[in-house]
């Protein structure tokens, strides 16, 4: 946040103290306060022995001026000088969203249409690439929300915890690839891990977007049980079953690199995903190509529209820059009055 221009004082009424203090200080230190002539009276035939005024006498007003300045600075500190440091978003008025992305090897199937649908150069778009590209656009549009990224296959993993830093999340998303985790499909465990990110969230809106192409086969927590937990916590689950219902080309990888491409149909459980969404009030859909995937994310975006985020002004308190010099000047003035500039009757 950039420090902005000087905004003034939080309690300017404190300066009314000076209306009483300054005239009083000026009165007791002015020439009408009883000026001494600096002479000594001797019991002798000589009437007076005049003493010449030295530099201490000529500068005798300095201690009092230091004290007056110190009082002014102390009153200024009491008025709470502040500088505006910037605006902060009230995250309780936003939405916390957790993206849950399947990274199992079946997500390599290139059956999502052409890359030209998303401005890419690829002739055939894999499920994982389509998901990452559509999610990228979705994340960039959610400017007032906290987002997190969970990836899963046979086990789930937090790729990025809840954050307002969209740039950081997109960097993690860009790193995601199929086969990065032990293979399998643990839908229930992934949703449970996403709920762990949201259980202490103060946000008024909380949702999970689950994107997978397979049937749960590795979870320790049953998917419907995780959906019931989400309902209890007030979390909506939007489910997207990605991939064509027909057989799609799935490239196989070996230690030497990409291997042959085979056509395969991945077993899916659309009914389970629909139940999870319906139980929590979310959206359930199937994306057989990238255009349908984009439309589903558009619908989710409209369902999870945030309220106008509350904003508060963050201030930097500056009273210490008045308090410390003010006390210092008072002490210096008092010491000078009692030493170099001390008056004798």
Which pLDDT tens digit goes with each residue over 263-303? 556 678 999 999 999 999 999 999 999 999 999 999 999 99
Residue with the larger pLDDT of the pair 243 and 119: 243
Cβ partners under 8 Å of residue 177, min gap 6 = 103, 128
Higher pLDDT among residues 186 and 244, named by residue: 186
Give the residue, 308 or 250, on which the prediction is more confident: 250
How does residue 256 score in pLDDT terms, banded at 50, 70 and 90? low
pLDDT, tens only, 146-156: 999 999 999 99
Q: How confident is the model at residue 249 (pLDDT cuts 50, 70, 90)?
A: low
Instruction: For residue 82, give the 3-state DSSP assignment.
Output: strand
Looking at the chain, the whole-number percentage of residues with pLDDT higher than 90 is 43
Model pLDDT, residue 153: 96
CATH 3.40.50.410 range(s) for the chain read 91-303
11-25 per-position pLDDT tens digit: 787 778 877 777 777
- Ranking 27-31, 127-131, 134-138 by mean pLDDT, the lowest is 27-31
Residue 57 — pLDDT band, cuts 50, 70, 90? Answer: low
> How far separated are the first and last CA of the chain, in Å rounded?
59
Give the model's pLDDT for residue 324.
87
Q: Which residues on neighbouring strands pair with residue 156, listed in sequence order?
A: 152
Q: Which residues contact 320 (CB under 8 A, 6 or more apart)?
A: 77
pLDDT of residue 2: 42
Supply the DSSP string of 301-318, one letter for each residue.
HHHTPPPPPPEEEEEEE-
Average pLDDT over residues 173-191: 95
211 has a pLDDT exceeding 70:
yes
Confidence at 206, pLDDT banded by 50, 70, 90: very high
The answer to whether the beta carbons of residues 150 and 197 sit under 8 Å apart is: yes
Kindly state the percentage of the chain with pLDDT values over 70: 71
Rounded CA Rg of the chain: 37
Cα distance between residue 125 and residue 100, in whole Å = 20
Higher per-residue pLDDT: 66 or 188:
188
pTM of the model: 0.62
pLDDT at position 340 over 80: no
Q: Which residue has the tokens 């009153």?
A: 75
Please check whether the domain covering 91-303 is classified as CATH 3.40.50.410. Answer: yes
In the Cβ-directed half-sphere of 277, how many Cα atoms lie within 13 Å? Answer: 19
């Amino acid at each position: 946040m950039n420090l902005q221009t000087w905004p003034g004082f939080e309690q300017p009424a404190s300066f009314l103290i000076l209306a009483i203090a300054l005239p009083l200080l000026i009165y007791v230190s002015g020439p009408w306060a009883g000026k001494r002539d600096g002479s000594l009276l001797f019991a002798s035939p000589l009437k007076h022995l005049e003493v010449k005024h030295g530099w201490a006498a000529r500068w005798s007003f300095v201690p009092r001026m230091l004290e007056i300045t110190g009082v002014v600075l102390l009153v200024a500190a009491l008025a709470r000088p502040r500088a505006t440091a910037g605006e902060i978003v009230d995250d309780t008025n936003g939405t916390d969203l957790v993206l849950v992305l399947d990274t199992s090897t079946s997500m390599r199937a290139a059956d999502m249409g052409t890359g030209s649908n998303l401005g890419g150069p690829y002739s055939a778009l894999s499920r994982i690439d389509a998901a990452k590209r559509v999610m990228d656009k979705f994340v960039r549009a959610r400017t007032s929300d906290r987002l997190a990224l969970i990836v899963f296959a046979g086990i789930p993993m937090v790729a990025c915890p809840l954050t307002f830093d969209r740039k950081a999340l997109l960097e993690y998303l860009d790193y995601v690839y199929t086969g990065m985790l032990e293979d399998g499909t643990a839908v229930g465990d992934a949703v449970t891990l996403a709920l762990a990110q949201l259980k202490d969230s103060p946000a008024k809106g909380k949702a999970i977007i689950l994107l997978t192409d397979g049937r749960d086969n590795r979870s320790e927590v049953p998917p419907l049980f995780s959906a019931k937990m989400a309902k209890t916590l007030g979390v909506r689950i939007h489910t997207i079953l990605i991939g064509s219902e027909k057989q799609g080309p799935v490239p196989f990888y070996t230690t030497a690199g990409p291997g042959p491409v085979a056509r395969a149909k991945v077993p899916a459980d659309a009914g389970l995903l629909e139940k999870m969404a319906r139980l929590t009030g979310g959206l359930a859909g199937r994306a057989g190509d990238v255009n349908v995937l984009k439309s589903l994310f558009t619908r989710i975006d409209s369902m999870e529209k945030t309220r106008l985020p509350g904003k508060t002004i963050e201030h930097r308190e500056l009273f210490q820059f008045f308090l410390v010099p003010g006390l210092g000047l008072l002490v210096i003035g008092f010491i000078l009055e009692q030493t170099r500039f001390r008056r004798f009757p």
